[in-house]
Amino acid sequence: MKKRVLVGVSGGVDSAVTIYLLQKAGYEVVGLYLKMHREVPHEENIAKIEKIATLFNFEYHIEDISETFEKKVFNYFIESYKNGLTPNPCAVCNKEIKFGEFLPFLEKYGADYLATGHYVKTDGEFLYKAKDRVKDQSYFMFGIKKEVLKKTIFPLGDYKKEEIKELAKEIGLEEFASARESQDICFIPTNYIDVLSSHFNTNLKGKVINSRREVIGVHKGYMHYTIGQRKGFTLFKSHKPQYVIGIDSEKNSLIVGDKQQLEKRVIFLKQVNLFIDKKEFDCEIKVRYRTDAIKGKVKIEKGSKAVLFLDKPAVGVAKGQGAVFYQGDKLLGGGWIRGAKR
């Protein structure tokens, strides 16, 4: 009897090819489209899924979890910026929605496994970086519960994106292969400031201060900035390049300094999730998605907290981002940055 796989479908090329690869491997496929956010063009997406379902002859279902998504992901995103943090909604969505709220639907639709079009690998015990290092999504999956991995399949982990597009053309999915890439954050149709502006006045001018608490300029509203940014604010007189090194949301102030002040060697984490059972270990650490990993040591503390000691300084460490631990390609875990020091 064929094993039954519940596939998260979006109407995009990745989930479409995921279905093809699973069927080719001998699985019975059932699609599931989650309505997560009201700003997403659901009817357009469902029309695309209908085309894929007709081509590959599989059933699919639609579930509306928009209230849960708003509470667990969207509101988190909004509140993070309000509090001067740099959020990572994709990591939260993976933990809470795609590998959280998705799970009860396995039983509802009689599936043995769940599958998605993420670019990542798993052996049922650990996650690993994908073959496509540019598209690799393992960084955003550090918060997933380890027990979920036993029920999860990622068919795209051994492919590069261009290979997926070429395969799509070969199997009758030309229009999907040539479609425009989706946004990194599904509920942001233009830019994040437009989303925030519908909830707050993001253009409240404020002070730019240095590390000595001297006012040296003005900015257009603290939500426009993130740690490491060096443009978009006005200084009263000529200075050597100044970078945002802190955000005071309560006082609507930016703290700026030179590039050296951005460098951090010690990072403090909360809500740490591990796939290994160790209290202290050496590894490579990524403090942002598009940065290289840095070798360092992780020391786990009580209350799901940790302290990271980096072999060399990281630049642009932002509260609210994820710090993720690797051993080569293997994902060991990660946590949320709550502070850092030099």
Q: Is-catalytic flag, 186?
A: yes
Looking at the domain assignment, is residue 184 inside a domain? no
Same domain, 167 and 219: no
Q: Going by DSSP bridges, is the β-strand pair 206-209/253-257 parallel, antiparallel, or unpaired?
A: parallel
Cβ pair 127, 108 in contact under 8 A: no
- Please pick, among 186, 188, 218, 293, the residue that the annotation labels catalytic: 186
Task: Count the domains in the chain.
Answer: 3
Phi-psi region of 179 (alpha: psi -120 to 50; beta: other; left: phi over 0): beta
Residues near 128 by beta carbon (within 8 Å), at least 6 away in sequence: 120, 121, 122, 138, 157, 329, 330, 331
Asked if 50 and 166 sit in the same domain, the reply is yes
Residue 186: inside a domain: no
Which of 120, 145, 177 marks a domain boundary?
177
Going residue by residue through the chain (342 aa), what tens digit of pLDDT does each one get? 899 999 999 999 999 999 999 999 999 999 999 999 877 889 999 999 999 999 999 999 999 999 999 999 999 999 999 999 999 999 999 999 999 999 999 999 999 999 999 999 999 999 999 999 999 999 999 999 999 999 999 999 999 999 999 999 999 999 888 877 765 677 777 788 888 998 999 999 999 999 899 999 999 999 999 999 999 999 998 778 999 999 999 999 999 999 999 999 999 999 999 999 999 999 999 999 989 999 999 999 999 999 999 999 999 899 999 999 999 999 999 999 999 998
pLDDT of residue 188: 73
Among residues 5, 103, 100, 18, which one has the least CA distance to residue 59? 5
pLDDT confidence of residue 38: 79
Say how far apart CA 296 and CA 158 lie, in whole Å: 28
Last residue of a domain, one of 189, 222, 257: 257
- Of 125, 144, 177, the last residue of a domain is 177
Are 59 and 140 found together in one domain?
Answer: yes
pLDDT of residue 252: 96
Based on the fold, state whether residues 17 and 101 are members of the same structural domain: yes
Distance from C-alpha of 179 to C-alpha of 330, rounded to nearest angstrom:
32
Q: Based on the domain organization, do 243 and 267 belong to the same domain?
A: no
Beta bridge partners of 227: none
Q: What are phi and psi of 118, to 5 degrees?
A: -70, 145
Which of 86, 51, 124 minimizes the C-alpha distance to 322?
Answer: 86
Determine the pLDDT at residue 184. 63
Contact between residue 317 and residue 287 where contact means Cβ atoms under 8 Å apart: yes
Together in a domain, 84 and 43 = yes
- 299 & 332 share domain: yes
If asked whether residues 135 and 87 sit together in one domain, one would say: yes
> Which domain range does residue 133 map to?
4-177
- Is the same domain home to 47 and 173? yes
CATH of residue 330 = 2.40.30.10
**pLDDT at res. 253:** 97
Check 34, 40, 93, 331 and give the catalytic one: 93
CATH of the domain at 138: 3.40.50.620
* Judgement on whether residues 231 and 304 belong to the same structural domain of the protein: no
Same domain for 118 and 239, yes or no, is: no
In a domain? residue 192: no
